[in-house]
Structure 1
Amino acid sequence: MRFFILLALACCCIESKAVVMRHDISVERYHVEKMPDYIIDLPHEGHGALIAKQWIVTVAHTIFYDYTGAILNIGSQEYQVEKVYIHPNYLKPRKEILSGDMMPLMQVLKSSSDIALIKISKPVSNVIPISLYSKSDEKGKILTVFGKGATGNGLIGENLDTKALHQPNRFQNVVESANGKWLSFKFDSPHNALPLEGMQGSGDSGGASIIYQNGIPYLAGLSSWQFATGDMSTFKGGLYGTTAYQTRISNYYNWIKGVVGS
């Protein structure tokens, strides 16, 4: 549990379920009535996205224990987890780097492959899976990111006490870098920001980042972590200027297809 909390704080939101907003925009503008049906709540915390009738993709650090046999609510029905496939290059940070200077943790996070696939025991019948974004042209495109955990704003950062409210929200940001394993974006202050500019927060891990093309949603990223420097005890997530990192779906497209196809 300590590992999970520190990871969620030390990264752009190493755990997907929260939205940090502009301080000058009404919070109601970020609210959504309900999350898209293809976004799935995981057993402990965080999200995944339904990408095929029996498959959910998420970030590996949301797999806190053996989820085999766990029940997931998808649409209006319950489904049982059959098996979890964690990417072989996922690195779980050692306990000794979860305190003190944050740079060793940042190095581990950046070199890790933070992605996992969850197979459920029977095909989903009442929800349409989201398609994967397989192109490598994400830079400069607008992401729409969903979450329902801790909230806050860019002046004061995220408020962890709000995480239990589970208010569905969404924000937008522009892909600043699309390189190798990661998509990244910066939480700009209002004079450089999108109307619904935002940042993922604690509880957002595995949250879906969507690129819309002709009104059709494509899964481009999964909320993973947030870059930070200094001592971990003084870290405050979700401030203006913070850079977020998202697992880049296009980089893992062949791995996903290889596992799902098997």
Structure 2
Amino acid sequence: MKVLFILSIIFFSTCSNAVVKRHDVPAKNYLLAEAPEYLIDMPHEGHGVLISPQWILTVAHTIFYDYSGKKIKVGSKNVEIEKVHIHPGYIEADKTLFKGDAAPLMNFLRSRSDIALVKLSTPVKDLKPIDIYSNSNELGQEITVYGRGATGNGKTGENTETKPLRELNHFKNIVEATDDKWLSFKFDEAQKALPLEGIHGSGDSGGPSVIFDNGTPYLVGLSSWQIWQGDLALFKGGLYGTTAYQVRVSNYRDWIVSVVGS
């Protein structure tokens, strides 16, 4: 697991995503002074989403070991983790996939179910969880994505040296494709881009993407990975034209209900 964690620092900026911004929009426009109540920071890196008073939904690759008994900050309180449930379709990547041509790793990431549930020892009563989007019409819709990881811009890509700053940013994008596991979107430039167009970068795995309906947010995705072609040694996250992938939460509704209950 330690080897995979080190590799994740090197490469999983494709899988551990934060906010990379437009180069022609002031960076301050992406900053947020206050986090949504449902955004939870995971113990070491990445985020989770409070979906009920006792349950956090995240991507499985943010779980570096058995977190049972570990404290996690939820709102203003440190709450003990009772148990972690990792989806049976999640498989850890073999370290050989992180070398050479990216295609085998990309196919591997696309094939697995990168999702997990974290049960808290006691329910949280002072925060409002987010509801999961109940429809399957995400295609073409605008999403808002949150993260505290590395920042940068689409021309130069992400700057991993900014990750320790833990600044809260958000961006917007349009869901361009959906399948049985993933929502995806491209980081567009200039006239094709939204005013706060962006993509996730290193340090924000599990961060929520939401659709607002009459001002109410609904959870549709969890930041997971970015596509890359060619030699992995040349990987640079967050460049214009990059396609990002998020766990399609609606696809996992039955599994979530089977673990959490109704």
TM-score interval, normalised by the smaller of the two chains? over 0.9
Q: How does 1:23-42 map to 2 (within 5 A)?
A: 23-42=23-42
Cα RMSD, aligned residues only: 1.3
TM-score normalised by L of structure 2: 0.96
Structure 2 runs not aligned, ≥5 long: none
Deviation at 1:9, TM superposition (A): 5.7
1:97 aligned partner: 97
- The answer to whether the 8 Å contact 2:39/2:208 transfers is yes
State the alpha-carbon separation in 1 of the partners of residues 105 and 9 from structure 2: 12
- The answer to whether the 8 Å contact 2:56/2:117 transfers is yes
The residue type equivalent to 1:119 in the other structure is K
- The answer to whether the 8 Å contact 1:13/1:204 transfers is no
Secondary structure of the equivalent of 1:229? coil
The verdict on how the C-alpha distance between 1:212 and 1:147 changes in structure 2, with shifts beyond 3 A counting, is same
Secondary structure of the equivalent of 1:106? helix
State the alpha-carbon separation in 1 of the partners of residues 135 and 150 from structure 2: 31
The share of aligned pairs that are identical, in percent, is 56
Deviation at 1:6, TM superposition (A): 3.9
Q: How does 1:149-228 map to 2 (within 5 A)?
A: 149-228=149-228
Secondary structure of the equivalent of 1:211? strand
Deviation at 1:4, TM superposition (A): 3.5
The verdict on how the C-alpha distance between 1:25 and 1:5 changes in structure 2, with shifts beyond 3 A counting, is farther
State the alpha-carbon separation in 1 of the partners of residues 3 and 193 from structure 2: 34
Task: Give every structure 1 segment of 4 or more consecutive aligned residues whose post-TM-superposition deviation is greater than 6 Å.
Answer: none
State the alpha-carbon separation in 2 of the partners of residues 143 and 32 from structure 1: 16
**1:7-65 CA distance string (max 9 Å, x none):** 4664673124x210000000000000021111100111000000011000000000001
State the alpha-carbon separation in 1 of the partners of residues 184 and 13 from structure 2: 10
Deviation at 1:134, TM superposition (A): 2.4
**1:52-82 CA distance string (max 9 Å, x none):** 1100000000000110111111111111000
The residue type equivalent to 1:80 in the other structure is E
- Count of aligned residue pairs for this structure pair: 261
The verdict on how the C-alpha distance between 1:5 and 1:190 changes in structure 2, with shifts beyond 3 A counting, is farther
State the alpha-carbon separation in 2 of the partners of residues 203 and 238 from structure 1: 12
2:4 aligned partner: 3
1:50 aligned partner: 50
The verdict on how the C-alpha distance between 1:202 and 1:157 changes in structure 2, with shifts beyond 3 A counting, is same
The residue type equivalent to 1:231 in the other structure is D
- The answer to whether the 8 Å contact 1:22/1:154 transfers is yes
State the alpha-carbon separation in 2 of the partners of residues 228 and 2 from structure 1: 21
- The answer to whether the 8 Å contact 2:60/2:116 transfers is yes
TM-score normalised by L of structure 1: 0.96
The residue type equivalent to 2:31 in the other structure is H
Deviation at 1:104, TM superposition (A): 0.8
2:70 aligned partner: 70
**1:111-146 CA distance string (max 9 Å, x none):** 000000000000001101000012110000001000
State the alpha-carbon separation in 2 of the partners of residues 229 and 87 from structure 1: 27
Deviation at 1:148, TM superposition (A): 0.8
- The answer to whether the 8 Å contact 1:71/1:78 transfers is yes
State the alpha-carbon separation in 1 of the partners of residues 72 and 84 from structure 2: 13
| 2:255 paired with 1:260 | no
Secondary structure of the equivalent of 2:222? strand
